[in-house]
């Protein structure tokens, strides 16, 4: 078993080495900070409209959107390698296949970030309903309301799964807490924006209107939640293979990677 896992580890070694993973995590957080600074710069020093749209966290189909999509994709990539690492282990359990569901969820989010499927869901359902002969069918309410049963179930189950997986790494569990906090705040602000008078609340004062700070906070918290998720799953995958290479304890391997 060790020989088979070591051979596979060598094939993808560059992406799983502690130094690479550590650097990837640092670059991700630095990129988030840079996006915030760039967004603020376009408000303090107003450039051409096209330039502002290209760098604004509030807009779609621009550089921040591409970054967010890549971040979701990286989580999916490392989730798959978490599964491969567990699959080769003697301690593999059927529940470890949940890594594949996490991978699929983040892969979908990566595609959705660019395609905006959730925002176009009512149109998609209506078109499919008519094409299948059921007649017009309209979905009402926010996309969060429509997705909420699936989202809540996934969050609870994946939270329990990752909490157990990261039992050997207190830092990993700290990341889970930060993930929950960031996403909860981001969803809360998204709900605020979708209220009947949400847009008025978000721009109710001169400060809020000029800085668009609520929109900035919502997008930044979402990116931070994804970055912490990347740190948790990439650290787990890397620790599994660092454990093979050095035969140190899993806790020490994880601590080395994310410190």
Q: Where are the domains of the chain?
A: 2-113+144-258
What is the per-residue pLDDT for 162? 94
Q: So what's the pLDDT on residue 204?
A: 79
- pLDDT band with cut points at 50, 70 and 90 for residue 2: very low
Q: Across 10-19, 119-128, 224-233, which has the greatest mean pLDDT?
A: 224-233
Per-residue pLDDT, 107: 95
Asked whether the predicted pLDDT for residue 25 surpasses 70, the reply is: yes
**How large is the C-alpha radius of gyration of the chain?**
21
pLDDT at 1 over 50: no
Mean pLDDT within 204-230 = 88
What mean pLDDT is reported for the chain? 82
pLDDT surpasses 50 at 27: yes
Q: Which position has the higher pLDDT, 113 or 101?
A: 101
Query: pLDDT of 65-77, one tens digit each?
Result: 999 999 999 999 9
pLDDT of residue 26: 96
In three state form, how does the secondary structure of the chain look? CHHHHHHHHHHCHHHHCHHHHHHHHHHHHHHHHHHHHHHHHHHHCCCCHHHHHHHCCCCCCCHHHHHHHHHHHHHHHHHHHHHHHHHHCCCCCHHHHHHHHHHHHHHHHHHHHHHCHHHHHHHHHHHHHHHCCCCCCCCCCCHHHHHHHHHHHHHHHHHHHHHHHCCCCHHHHHHHHHHHHHHHHHHHHHHHHHCCCHHHHHCCCHHHHHHCHHHHHHHHHHHHHHHHHHHHHHHHHHHHHHHHHHCCCHHHHHHHHHC
pLDDT digits (tens, 9 = 90+) for 133-150: 666 655 555 666 777 788
Which residues does 162 contact at the CB level (< 8 Å), separation at least 6?
172, 176, 232, 233
Q: What is the pLDDT of residue 147?
A: 76
Interval 11-31 mean pLDDT: 87
Residue 55 has pLDDT above 80, yes or no: yes
Q: What is the average per-residue pLDDT within 192-203?
A: 80
């Amino acid at each position: 078993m060790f020989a088979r896992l070591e051979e596979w580890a060598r094939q993808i070694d560059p992406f799983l080495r502690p130094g690479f993973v550590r650097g990837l995590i640092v670059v991700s957080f630095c990129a988030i900070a840079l996006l915030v600074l760039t967004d603020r710069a376009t408000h303090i020093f107003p450039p051409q409209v096209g330039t502002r749209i290209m760098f604004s966290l509030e807009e779609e189909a621009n550089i921040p959107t591409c970054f967010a999509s890549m971040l979701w994709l990286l989580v999916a990539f490392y989730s798959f390698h978490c599964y491969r690492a567990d699959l080769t282990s003697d301690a593999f359990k059927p529940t470890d296949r949940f890594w594949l569901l996490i991978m699929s969820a983040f892969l979908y989010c990566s595609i959705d970030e660019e395609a905006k499927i959730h925002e176009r869901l009512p149109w998609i359902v209506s078109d499919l309903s008519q094409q299948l002969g059921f007649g017009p069918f309209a979905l009402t309410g926010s996309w969060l309301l429509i997705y909420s049963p699936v989202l809540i179930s996934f969050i609870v189950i994946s939270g329990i799964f990752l909490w157990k997986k990261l039992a050997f790494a207190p830092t990993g569990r700290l990341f889970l807490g930060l993930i929950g906090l960031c996403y909860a705040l981001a969803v809360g602000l998204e709900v605020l924006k979708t209220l009947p008078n949400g847009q008025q609340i978000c721009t109710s004062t001169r400060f809020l209107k000029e800085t668009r700070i609520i929109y900035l906070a919502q997008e930044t918290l979402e990116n931070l939640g994804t970055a912490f998720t990347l740190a948790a799953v990439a650290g787990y995958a890397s620790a599994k293979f660092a454990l093979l290479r050095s035969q140190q304890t899993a806790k020490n391997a994880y601590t080395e990677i994310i410190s």
